[in-house]
């Protein structure tokens, strides 16, 4: 069958009309579904642009109220810790870790390192250095309205002479830095915007304070006071070679050695 030129033009017009009709049907369907969604969610089919932008900004502001997620390994690690240290009181140590975070940040805010009572000399030194560094830059760092959302054990590590339990906490506060002589001048952060952050606190157990602190950088281990055999595991009660009691010759110490923001 032969199709003339006029028939060819006619077929093209029909195809274009079908395409346009399909396009408008798709657009109409989308608009209808959007209006239905708006009516379901907002009670109206149309939302003015300014209201839409306000809703978008409110959504961004909501992120300021969402706590950071923490690595929750307490259920897995706590039984191992209790096995190594039956006397370990989880609730007591958790409260102590919370207190370290609060007093550490309060000490920075008030520029008084003496506020932090618990902790190793290294932790207290790092705190004093931070306060001094801020002052050297003619800045004052503020932590206001601190609220802790959640705290969990995130890590448990054992090495020669030292055992480390890491608590991870999600908290919020108003964190900002001002000029030292003019607190109305904010150089970093915001007085009006909550900051969601994550902190880690290390709790360490030292079997022999003098041995470990004197040789920690060299990776020195502890030895049996009788036969000199290395003490490979923390929490052991007797030497595995000569059966000499170990605990009687060690100083058991739980101390906080680190407090820092990780996110």
Give the number of residues written for the chain: 263
Whole-number pLDDT of residue 248: 40
Count of domains for the chain:
2
Whole-number pLDDT of residue 172: 96
Per-10-residue mean pLDDT, the chain, length 263: 58 80 85 75 57 52 76 96 92 96 97 94 95 96 96 92 93 96 94 96 77 43 70 67 64 82 91
The partner residues of 254 in beta bridges, in order of sequence, read 205
Task: Answer yes or no: do 180 and 206 share one domain.
Answer: yes
What's the whole-model pTM score? 0.64
> Has residue 69 been placed in a domain?
no
Query: Which residues have a Cβ under 8 Å from the Cβ of 119 and sit 6 or more positions away?
Result: 100, 127, 255, 256, 257, 259
Residue 177: φ, ψ to 5°: -125, 135
Task: Answer yes or no: do 36 and 134 share one domain.
Answer: no
Count the neighbouring beta carbons within 10 Å of the beta carbon of residue 110. 14
Whole-number pLDDT of residue 149: 96
Whole-number pLDDT of residue 219: 35
Whole-number pLDDT of residue 217: 39
Chain-centroid distance of CA 122 in Å reads: 22
Give the domain CATH number at 151: 3.10.450.240
Helix (H) or strand (E) run with residue 170 in it? strand 162-179
> Has residue 64 been placed in a domain?
no
């Amino acid at each position: 069958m032969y199709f003339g030129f006029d028939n060819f033009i006619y077929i093209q017009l029909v195809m274009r009309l079908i395409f346009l009709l399909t396009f408008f049907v798709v657009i109409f369907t989308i608009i209808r579904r959007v209006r239905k969604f708006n009516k379901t969610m907002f009670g109206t089919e149309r939302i003015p642009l300014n209201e839409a932008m306000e809703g978008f900004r409110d959504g961004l502001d909501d992120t300021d109220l969402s706590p950071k997620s923490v690595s929750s390994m307490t259920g897995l690690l706590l039984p191992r810790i209790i096995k190594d240290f039956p006397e370990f009181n989880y609730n007591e140590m958790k409260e102590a870790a919370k207190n370290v975070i609060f007093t550490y940040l309060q000490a920075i805010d008030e520029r008084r390192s003496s506020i932090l009572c618990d902790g190793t000399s290294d932790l207290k030194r790092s705190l004093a250095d931070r306060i001094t560094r801020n002052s050297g830059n003619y800045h004052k760092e503020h932590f206001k309205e601190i609220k802790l959302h959640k705290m969990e054990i995130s890590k448990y590590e054992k090495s020669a002479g030292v055992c480390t339990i890491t608590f991870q906490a999600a908290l919020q506060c108003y964190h900002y830095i001002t000029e030292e002589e003019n607190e109305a001048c904010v150089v970093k952060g915001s007085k009006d915007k909550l900051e969601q952050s994550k902190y880690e606190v290390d709790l360490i157990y030292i079997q022999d304070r003098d041995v470990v602190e004197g040789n920690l950088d060299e990776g020195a281990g502890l030895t049996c006071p009788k036969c000199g055999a290395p003490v490979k595991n923390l929490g052991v009660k007797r030497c595995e070679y000569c059966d000499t009691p170990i605990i009687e010759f060690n100083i058991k110490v739980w101390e906080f050695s680190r407090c820092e923001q990780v996110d």
